[in-house]
Amino acid sequence: MRRSAILGVIGLVGSLALVAMPATAAPSAAAVAVHNPLLKEALAEEEESDSDDPAQSALCQSYLGHPNPYGNPAPNVDQIVGDTVVPVGSQAGCSAAQNETTIAVNPRNPRNIVAGANDYRLFNARENRNDSASFAYTSFDGGHSWRNVAIPGLTITAGGTGAFSWFDGSGDPVVAFGPGNTVYFASLVFSRSAPLGGQDATGIVVNVSHDGGLHWGGPHVVAMNGVNADGTPAVTHIFNDKPWFAADPSNGRVYVTWTKFTYDNDDNYLESPIMESASVDFGSHFATPVRIPPSLTGFAGGITPYDQGSNPQVGNDGKLYVAYEASVCATAACDAAGDRDATVVATSTDHGRTFRHAIVDTNYDFPDTLTAENFRLNSFPQLAYDRGNGKLTVVWSDDRNGLYDATTGASVRTNGDNVVSASGNGKSWSRPLVIGTPQDEFFSAVAARDGKVAIASYTRHYDRNGINLDFAYWAGSGTQSLSRAATQRITTVSENPQVQFLAVNPDGSEVQGVFIGDYAAVAVGNDLRIHPCWTDFRGRPGVNTPNQDIYTQSIQLKH
């Protein structure tokens, strides 16, 4: 078994010069100094949306003027309504991309479902290109039909004023239901430049709907750096990244967690602790953020603040649980032989003021991407809480069964698997089980209810010698039965993930499909129907040509 790499910050996707990249912005390559030679995983990367060089062509353009090669996707459902066509750049003529999915089911009404994604259909005249926006997709008929709406007030393209007029894009969406038809939508907002130096401006914000996702109020700020109230830039050495969200089902208490990348005055990376902020008034106001991992001050070994990928849940008793990926090291340098990455779950019994931590298992990071693929990926965990029995289930995908060169440590062939563990109290966790196929699984998601657990992820099982992807699920009564569960294919055909977003090598050669989103999603209603939500690559056959769209399907679990 190979040793896991230690979390850290590296430059932009190796030697690639990014041309068409995704919604979430993050530290620029020039500003990132490697903390330690072992620090490998790209926790955050500066992202560009679309190139304006007409000589560069995304794969989606090769389908223009020809019939969509994919057939009717039913029973898979395309959630995108009213898409636009990209007017300029390497994707000109293609339908706009959507990726990076989130989904939640109304606990009182299983036919009311709200999803979200990075959505590139809005044109940013300031940038002269399409950039990412936060969009909600709402259904009141169990997921058969969908209404699409831009979350208001976040950016210049979404009607943002004051500080929000400085932000070029938004993304990293997450949705959650509270009591009474209340729906929360958390986003990362970001600028594309820091003209005064330091990091680009970022913010963690929450919009709220009180009618099941039909209409949304303006943004409430959780954290914001790099911009003044009047919309002018300010110098910051903080970069906020990837919010996640949890709501108490019985009251207006909610929690946001995210990663706070911190740099010194020369923009050298210092740490990236997971932060948490709570609201007691349905997201109208948020308390001073609290750091979840220990500080480096007086560090004597253990969990470090070199973290990313947080995912919170609230228990029936009000306890807050937060899963995340951390580096566990003997010293702050993280250069000892036994140092490793790990999946960690933190528990708070005082509404997010203090936390205790449990290490679930070593997390064996993927290499930069899967064998023969081009898109970036991660091994961040997702957490589910079963309100029927009070049990927690955590899942992540990693490459513990991949083949690596014994001499150089280089990846020879990836074999990603879903790794799952369960707990009744957040402190003691079951021996992790590996769920998957001899091919790659990645971007795991989990949902649990009434003793039933469903894991969903991408898989290469149905195109064993190629690059095409499918989405699949595994379901059982508790985590033990998941190890015996059959792989259930959701997508009706294997699909090419290289359709949109390209990068350019130093020699000018193009690399297709460098971004498909950084995670997938699944939710379950009180009718025991699961709703997986993923980035699909077929577009809408019969209407437009292949492009990244958000898809779902309603699937009945066995009672």
For 72-82, how does the pLDDT look when each residue is reduced to its tens digit (9 = 90+)? 999 999 999 99
The pLDDT-based confidence of 12 (bands split at 50, 70, 90) is very low
Mean pLDDT of 8-20: 30
The pLDDT-based confidence of 222 (bands split at 50, 70, 90) is very high
- Residue 173 three-state SS: strand
The pLDDT-based confidence of 49 (bands split at 50, 70, 90) is very low
CB 504 within 8 A of CB 510: yes
Q: Express as a percent the part of the chain with pLDDT over 70.
A: 90
Residue 349: how many other CB atoms lie within 10 Å: 15
| pLDDT at 54 (0 to 100) | 61
Helix (H) or strand (E) holding 481: helix 479-482
Mean pLDDT of 132-144: 98
Cβ neighbours for 375, distance < 8 A, ≥ 6 positions apart = 369, 497, 501, 513, 514, 515, 516
Mean pLDDT of 530-558: 97
* Block residue for tokens 């989103």: 517
Q: Which residue has the higher pLDDT, 539 or 559?
A: 539
| pLDDT at 559 (0 to 100) | 66
CA dist., res. 114 & res. 214, Å (int)? 9
CB 180 within 8 A of CB 209: no
- Res 443 pLDDT > 90: yes
Q: Which CATH number fits domain 6-537+548-556: 3.40.50.10860, 2.120.10.10, 3.40.50.720, 3.20.20.70?
A: 2.120.10.10
Cβ neighbours for 331, distance < 8 A, ≥ 6 positions apart = 299, 301
CA dist., res. 415 & res. 458, Å (int)? 12
| pLDDT at 9 (0 to 100) | 36
- Res 295 pLDDT > 90: yes
Cβ neighbours for 383, distance < 8 A, ≥ 6 positions apart = 311, 312, 313, 321, 322, 323, 345, 392, 393, 394, 446
Distances (CA, A) of 67 to 71, 517, 526, 535, 544: 10, 26, 40, 21, 8
Q: Is-cis flag, bond preceding 541, omega within 30?
A: no
DSSP-derived pairing of the beta strands 502-504 and 510-512: antiparallel
| Nearest CA-CA partner of 462 in 431, 496, 506 | 496
Q: Which residue has the higher pLDDT, 515 or 54?
A: 515
| pLDDT at 131 (0 to 100) | 97
The pLDDT-based confidence of 362 (bands split at 50, 70, 90) is very high
Global pTM? Answer: 0.92
Residue 403: how many other CB atoms lie within 10 Å: 13
Which of 36-45, 247-256, 400-409 comes out lowest in average pLDDT? 36-45
Q: Give me the chain's average pLDDT, please.
A: 91
Mean pLDDT of 406-428: 96
| pLDDT at 55 (0 to 100) | 77
CB 549 within 8 A of CB 79: yes
